Amino acid sequence: MISKNTIEKVFDTARVEEVIGDFVQLKKSGANFKGLSPFTDERSPSFMVSPVKQIWKDFSSGKGGNVVSFVMEHEHLTYPEAIKYLAKKYGIEIEETEQSSEEKQKASERESLFLVSEFARDYFQQQLLETSTGKAIGLSYFKERGFTDETIKKFELGYAQDEWENFTKAALQKTYQLSFLEKTGLSIVKQDKKFDRFKGRVMFPIHSISGRVLGFGGRILKTDKKAAKYLNSPESEIYNKSKILYGLYYAKQSIAKEDNCYLVEGYTDVIQMAQKGIENVVSSSGTALTPDQIRLINRLTKNITVLFDGDDAGLRASLRGIDLILEQGMNVKVCTFPQGEDPDSFARANNPIEIKAYLEENAQDFIQFKASLLVAEAKNDPVKKAELTRDMVVSIAKIPNPIQQEIYIKECSSIMQVSEEVLFSSLAQINAKNQRDSNQQKKRNQKAFEIHKKEDASTNEFPKVNPKEVLEQKIISLLVKHGHEDSLFLDVEIDLNEEHEIVLNEIKIEAKVYEKIFKDLQDDETDFSNPVFKSLKEKLEVELASAGKIEPKGFIQQLSPEEAEVVTNILMEDEKYKLHRWEDMNIIVTDKTKLDPAEVVQSILNLRRLLIHEKVDSYTTNLKDGKVENVQELLKEIMEYKKLEVIIAKRLSRVT
């Protein structure tokens, strides 16, 4: 268990904007920050971070909370894991009792996979640095590549002995379960045999964006035509290669700072460039670039520079990756190295100043690069040139921004010596076809949805709004936002005139909002039905009575994840209007930051009326079912409740 003292230190030290800034490119927006949602595929920012309140809200997915909840949500970590992550980031020593072997076995399967992977990282590092064969073979290889001791330790490089069971035996001796070794792909199990997947290879741990070990890449060192040069961990619950970029954990801050990301092909390209001070470099690890990988970069920067080897082979195929980047609305540049060079070899042969200068001088806009490549391919063949020109227009059509499309069409016209009118006509045809294809896909999706609706009748039923819960949430909102404020409430009280008729007299009450709400609820013996709202009401009552005010950072820390999400939604509710700049579109939004005393009174009265209505319905049902002994007494009680309901309706009409 992590001590309460450690948790408090983490909450006191961690800054939500700093932590989220490691994963999302944030831009200042008034007192807050905004950025693209890390949980959905979007092109317009709907993600808000409040440094003052130390909370965040994602309006596209509905998620929100504090710094710990973000790490839990984004990295799929448990509460203790998120605390440990933040403690490590801020250099806070964790006070806890060490886990026993039994506790390790009781951990969740996902956490067990992480633990096995982290043990493997440490084991391979130890084999590289502390064994004679590791030093002679693995370390020598890294040294030949020009990696320093500091670089080897930073990237946690390792070595797997050229033995069949060394790692598997060591892991089992440390009480790690064979099933988890198999699920991570570190060990291969066939019938009664078990052996190491990565034998005889230097090891490259692959990290999540928060630094957890997800899997490995291993390079074989001996010449073996039957064995793959590079071998990656198989897909697992924690490792999905299409959603991971090698080196992103080390590069994320530099990418955000430089507002650019260099994309390379291999592990050593990333490491060598980083060693020479070019730290904003990531790799797709030899696999074809995927939309998920591009979106990871898109959260940190809009700019990607793709670095290609000097070898022409495979360049044409790589252009598909550029089109994928364009589809995400990102800016793409391309830089190729001299013939026979790649990022690794070029970085080794040059100093940091020379490397940076080369990248700046030789990075071309994607349209220039593609044009030069295709023109060389077409040579003097007019038919081929026409085909390749259309190929360029297809790429331009991938760009979602019409202004950028127009600029690139003009540039393409100049390069290819084809009139703008012809190119715009071709672009319009492609856009029209894309729109038709999109519409057809939507129709297919809609048809599939309709079929699914028929198969599952339950999908025809929309979730009903519970008016009581709506009012309960409204009261919680008033307490969170305005509970500490003093106000003058215009209320009415019930009285009898000389004819013993019920009359309503207006009265004025000066009180704090929370005092007014809790007194009225107590007078009516009214309680909340939603368990989350009920718990929140009780915690708000204690906090407001003792502290006099709700301080978001400290208060949210005390709440359950469900309660924290409710409070975060309330506190960030008004930010969505600023986010989408409704005022710029002449849409006037009511200022909800100011207290309306009538709203307090109306909310309480409406809740009372609902509860009375439910009571009357319950009594009426019992009468119909014949479950009542004294019918006359119950009828009298129903009439009294109905009178009270009428009175409350009158009171509501008087409260403005």
Residues 231 and 170 placed together within one structural domain of the fold: yes
Q: Which two tokens stand for residue 464?
A: 């009903």
In a domain, 559, yes or no: no
Residue 633 lies in a domain: yes
- Residue 105 above 60 pLDDT? no
Domain assignment present for 514: yes
Is 350 strand, coil or helix?
Answer: coil
Both tokens of 447, joined, read 């048809």
439-459: average pLDDT: 67
Q: What is the chain's length? A: 656
Q: Is residue 71 part of a domain?
A: yes
pLDDT at residue 198 greater than cutoff 60: yes
Instruction: Report, as an integer, the average pLDDT of 353-382.
Output: 84
* pLDDT exceeds 70 at position 314: no
Quick one: 64 and 111 in the same domain? no
Domain end (from 239, 270, 300) = 239
pTM of structure: 0.70
CATH number where 127 lies? 3.90.980.10
Alpha carbons 362 and 341: distance in angstroms, whole number: 14
Residues 105, 56: one domain? Answer: no
Co-location of 85 and 118 in the same domain: no
What would the DSSP string read from start to end of 548-572? SS--HHHHHHTS-HHHHHHHHHHHT
Task: Give mean pLDDT, residues 250-254.
Answer: 91
**109 and 80 part of one domain:** no
Residues 110 and 85 in one domain: no
Does residue 471 lie in a domain region? yes
Between 62-66, 554-558, 576-580, the lowest mean confidence (pLDDT) is in 576-580
Helix axes 467-482, 531-547, angle to 10 degrees: 20
- Residue 142 to residue 158: CA distance in whole angstroms: 10
CATH code: domain of residue 75: 3.90.580.10
Structural domain contains residue 278: no
Q: What confidence score (pLDDT) does residue 356 get?
A: 95
Task: Identify how many contiguous H helices and E strands the chain contains and give both numbers.
Answer: 29, 18
Gap between the Cα atoms of 583 and 1, Å rounded: 49
- Asked if pLDDT for residue 98 goes beyond 80, the answer is no
Whether residues 503 and 604 fall in one domain? yes
83 and 171 share a domain? no
Per-residue model confidence (pLDDT) at position 588: 47
Q: Where are the alpha helices (DSSP H) in 484-574?
A: 513-523, 531-547, 552-557, 561-571
- Rounded Cα distance between 52 and 81, Å, is 25
Domain-embedded: residue 233:
yes
Could you list the residue range(s) of the whole structural domain that residue 122 is in?
Answer: 101-239
- The arithmetic mean of pLDDT across residues 191-220, rounded, is 93
Q: Are 262 and 337 in contact (CB under 8 A)?
A: no
Same domain flag for 82 and 105: no
* 656 — pLDDT class (breaks 50, 70, 90): very low
How far apart, in whole angstroms, are the C-alpha atoms of residue 389 and residue 382? 10
Confidence of residue 641 (pLDDT cuts 50, 70, 90): low
Of 239, 259, 290, the residue at which a domain comes to its end is 239
Look at 362-376, 408-422, 528-542 and tell me which has the smallest mean pLDDT: 362-376
Q: Are 20 and 56 in contact (CB under 8 A)?
A: yes
Model confidence band, residue 565 (pLDDT cutoffs 50, 70, 90): confident
> Is residue 74 situated within a structural domain?
yes
Handedness of CA 590, 595, 598, 602 (dihedral sign): positive
Q: Angle of helix 561-571 relative to helix 467-482, nearest 10 degrees? A: 70
Rounded distance between C-alpha atoms, residue 292 and residue 464, angstroms: 35
Phi, psi (rounded to 5 degrees) for 157 = -70, 155
Q: Are residues 82 and 131 in the same domain?
A: no
Q: How confident is the model at residue 177 (pLDDT cuts 50, 70, 90)?
A: very high
Note whether 71 and 131 are same-domain residues. Answer: no
Q: How many domains does the chain have?
A: 3
Same domain, 529 and 603: yes
Domain boundary among 65, 89, 113: 89
**How far is it, in rounded angstroms, from Cα 590 to Cα 602?**
18
